[in-house]
């Protein structure tokens, strides 16, 4: 199995990228292809005195930055680490691609270079969301701000397959994020999507209110990219605010400091549940190859876990299963 990693993508590249790949190569036994500025990668790799033979470097002299316009960057920066890496997947020289770089460029590149699965109208960006019961999968979280019911139907099918094959959930429950639980609630998109989803061959839970998201009632949460991104950003900001406020309160007096010491193990467990590095990255579902978006500020641990995620994705034939299920549905022309 060959997994390509964009060595130049992300806030901490190439240091964190190379470190994560070295750890992953040792633990998971996969072949890793690091793409980027060869001399820079080699210099970083030398720090770890890596003696294995399952890390390869492919040179790419250009870098797509977060300031680049996504489509223009993909078209013009042909020798960038992202474009070269995606082409390796397209040419079947690699099974999956991981990047912590420009999200919009990765979505554009994945769509234009790797291509969508036949019958899939839009690729969806996903994430795992921490809940009281563990984690739930949420999609879309920003790739598609304007959606049709048919798109949400495809997101539900792909999310259900990913939850089962990669996250190990048997018969995952799929919920439609809405402003009420009753059928008939919501805007035109959610009303029509509810009717489509209840007739789809998935374990459809029904509507899910935002306040119930953290409870973990469902395994897969479906929404358009505008709603998903708002929920994700609000959750990230709220989590940071809560920890900041708690820290401030715990530092007020000697007694509160003692209380903090007593509560430290529990607080650490709570913080770990919200730690994105545990999950590695967010797969772009609906493409003809494995493409995973790692967090822009990924450290070595996050990159290592993204490699593990990619390995599981490939081993469980997620793409083939999505192709099969969409074909059984008769495909979709995206007009609904």
CATH number for position 77:
3.40.718.10
251-278: average pLDDT: 70
Looking at the structure, tell me whether residues 35 and 87 fall in a common domain.
yes
Residue 336, domain member (yes or no):
no
Looking at the structure, tell me whether residues 88 and 71 fall in a common domain.
yes
Residue 324, domain member (yes or no):
no
102-114: average pLDDT: 92
Please determine, for residue 95, whether its predicted confidence score (pLDDT) is greater than 90: yes
19 contact partners, CB below 8 Å, separation of at least 6: 44, 48, 300, 303
Whole-Å CA distances, 227 to 34, 74, 221, 232, 272? 34, 27, 11, 9, 25
Residue 335, domain member (yes or no):
no
Give tens-digit pLDDT for 229-257. Answer: 999 888 878 877 877 887 787 788 888 87
Whole-Å CA distances, 60 to 32, 36, 90, 154, 293? 16, 4, 17, 35, 19
Six-digit token string for 7: 């060595």
User: How would you classify residue 184: left for phi > 0, otherwise alpha for psi between -120 and 50, otherwise beta?
Assistant: left
Domain count along the chain? 2
Give tens-digit pLDDT for 119-175. Answer: 899 999 988 888 888 889 999 988 888 999 999 999 999 999 989 888 889 999 999
Looking at the structure, tell me whether residues 264 and 297 fall in a common domain.
no
Residue 323, domain member (yes or no):
no
User: So what's the pLDDT on residue 267?
Assistant: 64
For helices 149-165 and 300-315, give the axis angle rounded to 10 degrees.
100
User: In which domain, by residue range, is 185 found?
Assistant: 126-276
Residue 111, domain member (yes or no):
yes
Looking at the structure, tell me whether residues 165 and 228 fall in a common domain.
yes
Looking at the structure, tell me whether residues 178 and 257 fall in a common domain.
yes
The Cα–Cα gap between 119 and 286 comes to 9
Residue 334, domain member (yes or no):
no
Please determine, for residue 70, whether its predicted confidence score (pLDDT) is greater than 70: yes
Residue 245, domain member (yes or no):
yes
Q: Which residue has the tokens 């770990």?
A: 272
Looking at the structure, tell me whether residues 252 and 303 fall in a common domain.
no
Is the full-model pTM beyond 0.85? no
Six-digit token string for 44: 């970083």
Looking at the structure, tell me whether residues 101 and 168 fall in a common domain.
no
Residue 80, domain member (yes or no):
yes
Angle value at C-alpha 231, between 209 and 297, nearest 5 degrees:
150
Looking at the structure, tell me whether residues 166 and 259 fall in a common domain.
yes
């Amino acid at each position: 199995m060959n997994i390509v990693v964009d060595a130049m993508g992300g806030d901490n590249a190439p240091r964190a990228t190379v470190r994560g790949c070295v750890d992953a190569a040792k633990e998971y036994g996969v072949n890793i292809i690091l793409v980027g500025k060869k001399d820079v990668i080699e210099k970083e790799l030398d720090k770890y005195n890596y003696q294995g033979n399952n890390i390869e470097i492919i040179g790419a002299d250009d870098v797509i930055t977060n300031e680049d316009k996504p489509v223009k960057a993909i078209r013009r920066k042909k020798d960038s680490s992202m474009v070269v890496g995606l082409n390796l997947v397209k040419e079947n020289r690699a099974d999956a691609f991981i990047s912590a770089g420009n999200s919009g460029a990765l979505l554009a590149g994945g769509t234009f270079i790797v291509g969508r699965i036949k019958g899939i109208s839009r690729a969806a960006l996903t994430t795992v969301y921490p809940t009281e019961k563990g984690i739930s999968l949420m999609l879309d979280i920003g790739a598609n701000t304007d959606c049709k019911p048919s798109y949400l139907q495809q997101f539900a099918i792909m999310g259900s397959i990913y939850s089962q094959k990669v996250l190990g959930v048997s018969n995952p429950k799929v919920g439609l994020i809405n402003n009420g639980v009753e059928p008939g609630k919501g805007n035109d998109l959610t009303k029509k999507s509810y009717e489509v989803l209840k007739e789809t061959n998935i374990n459809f839970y029904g509507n899910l209110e935002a306040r119930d998201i953290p409870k973990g009632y469902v395994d897969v949460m479906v929404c358009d990219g505008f709603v998903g991104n708002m929920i994700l950003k609000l959750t990230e900001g709220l989590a940071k605010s809560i920890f900041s406020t708690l820290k401030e309160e715990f530092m007020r007096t000697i007694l509160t400091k003692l209380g903090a010491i007593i509560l430290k193990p529990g607080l650490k467990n709570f913080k770990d549940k919200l730690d994105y590095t545990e999950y590695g990255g967010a797969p772009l579902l609906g493409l003809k190859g494995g493409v995973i978006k790692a967090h822009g500020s990924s450290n070595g641990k996050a990159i290592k876990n993204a490699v593990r995620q990619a390995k599981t994705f490939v081993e469980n034939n997620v793409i083939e299963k999505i192709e099969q299920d969409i074909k059984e549905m008769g495909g979709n022309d995206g007009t609904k």
